[in-house]
Structure 1
Amino acid sequence: MTTDSQKIRFFRRHIPSFACLPGCHDCCGPVTTSSEEMARLPVKSRAVHEAALADLSCPHLGDEGCRVYAERPLICRLFGTTPGLPCPHGRRPEVMTDRRIEQQIHHFFAATRQVLV
């Protein structure tokens, strides 16, 4: 049986990366993620979470960008790599995320408990 951790590693390997527009954080709003992924992120105080939510931002977004980039959730990795989550500036990888992988990821989202980052 495949664990959530194994699924996350598999999905991460199959989501292509691309260069974002420097200084852009348009996709860094409030998102949900699995409990498994949330456990990999640094714990933030309730006040930090509330302030980020009030700004429609992410509590892990700093002045220089994402402070947890290497551990960012799957939903963050998908932005700009699928037609359904396009980059507002037209950035994208050379090859988009395979539709079957995207469907599997969305099924994973639906099948796992999601929490607000």
Structure 2
Amino acid sequence: MYKNQEVILRLRANIPQFECVEGCHDCCGPVTTSSEEMSRLPVKTDAEHEAALNEFNCVHLGPKGCTVYDERPLICRLFGTTPRMPCPNDRKPEQPVDIKTEREVHHFIANTRQVLV
């Protein structure tokens, strides 16, 4: 698990950030994430998970947006940083994520145990 945490931190550092539209949550649907990333998020009840899924939302979506923004999973960080996962409001960083980092994120996701957030 320690090695995965190092990979997560390295990939996070290589994904550029950008300013979202305030209050937007268009990309905050149900997602999966690695067990390591999930362990950094607050535990939610089965009822909270069910309510979020019924709305096709992430369980960590609050009235003002993402409640775990600083700890959001890699897949959430990748949204809007690449033309393959564009922001629906045309927001993006000055420079898109480099293709190597994007591929590494997808490789990490494909090769780690994923759980529903």
TM-score bracket relative to the smaller structure: over 0.9
Alignment partner, residue 84 of structure 1 = 84
Q: Name the SS for the 2:33 alignment partner.
A: strand
For 1:30-49, what aligned pairs fall within 5 Å after superposition? 30-49=30-49
In the TM superposition, what whole-angstrom CA distance separates every residue of 1:44-92 from its partner, at most 9, and x where no partner exists? Answer: 0000000000100011111111110110000000000011110001100
In the TM superposition, what whole-angstrom CA distance separates every residue of 1:7-26 from its partner, at most 9, and x where no partner exists? Answer: 00000000000000111100
- Where in structure 1 do 4 or more consecutive aligned residues deviate above 4 Å? none
Q: Gapped runs of 5+ residues in structure 1?
A: none
Aligned length in residues: 116
Alignment partner, residue 94 of structure 1 = 94
- Give the Cα separation in 2 of the matches to 1:36 and 1:69: 16
Q: What is the Cα deviation at residue 34 of structure 1?
A: 0.3
Code of the aligned partner of 1:53: L
Q: Gapped runs of 5+ residues in structure 2?
A: none
- Aligned-residue sequence identity (percent) comes to 62
Code of the aligned partner of 1:99: I
The CA RMSD over aligned residues, in Å, is 0.8
